[in-house]
Amino acid sequence: MNLTAHRGTEEVLRRLVVDAIALLSALRGIADGWTSLVDLGSGAGFPGLPIAILEPSRRVVLVEARERRHYFQRAVGRAIELPNVEPRLGRAEVLSPEPASLVIAQAMAAPRSAMVWGLRWTAPGGILVIPGAEAAPDPGSSEALAESGTGGYRVPLAGPLRSFWWGRVRG
């Protein structure tokens, strides 16, 4: 369906599903206690859908501007009965935000824009995460943040090194 650049079941599992699980694991200690997640620019539903499967008691909102990907997310949610998933069609900077305790903005915009738009969706005391490749993204600073930092992880199964920037919104 050309929803991602990855082809084949094994590649999707290794590059997208396992990466989403590894990111969630890497956030332990930073985003403990989160109750709701917004995945901005979620594309085909990554990392949001795997996280929703692993965390069925937590609400996951998938924000995607492209209709085909949005409709795919809706179909997956229905097919595997994920009542905790809510796909939203639209651009993160235009939609009315639903603040969450954890917001992930992965590959949706340049780091500075991802931070500005992501902060609108992050609840007071919540965590905004901007994943990156080997080098952590640098979105700059914001007075809305109480603290920020970077982290890293290796995707299992001989996957790549990944990094992320995180910021906690003032509560």
- Of the chain, the end-to-end C-alpha distance in Å amounts to 42
Lateral strand order in the sheet of 85-89: 85-89, 59-64, 36-40, 100-105, 122-132, 161-169, 145-154
Q: Nearest 5 degrees, angle CA 98-CA 99-CA 102?
A: 125
| Domain over 9-169 is classified CATH 3.40.50.150 | yes
What dihedral do alpha carbons 17, 71, 100, 47 form, nearest 10°?
A: 10
pTM over 0.95: no
Q: What is the pLDDT of residues 70-126, one digit of tens each?
A: 999 999 999 999 999 999 999 999 999 999 999 999 989 999 999 999 999 999 999
Which sequence spans correspond to the domains of the chain?
9-169
- Residue 2 banded pLDDT, cuts 50, 70, 90: very low
